[in-house]
Amino acid sequence: MPFPEIDALARAAAGDVLSPTDPQIAALFNALGVAADQRASAARQALQRWAEDRRAPQAERDHAVSRLAELAAG
C-alpha cells in the first residue's frame, strides 16, 4: 500500500531535495517558511509524530516507523 506523503517526508528527512511530485510537503515547508537547512530536521520530526499518532491508521503508523528505522540505519 503506497503512502506518498510518508515517503516524501522520509526523503526530505534523509536530506533529499523535495521534488515537484511532492507538492503537499513542499507547500507545507514553504508555508511554514522552513529554510532548506532545516527541512531534514523538520521532516524527521513530522515523520516521528506521524509514527506516534494513534489517530492515524495502523498501516500508516507502521510505514512511518519503518521509514524512520531506515533513516536511523543510514
Tens of pLDDT, residue by residue over 22-34, are 777 777 777 777 6
Q: Looking at per-residue confidence, does 48 or 17 come out higher?
A: 48
pTM for the full predicted model:
0.70
C-alpha cell at 8: 516524501
Q: What mean pLDDT comes out for the span 27-45?
A: 75
Tell me the backbone φ, ψ of residue 19, rounded to 5 degrees.
Answer: -100, 165
DSSP state of 56: S
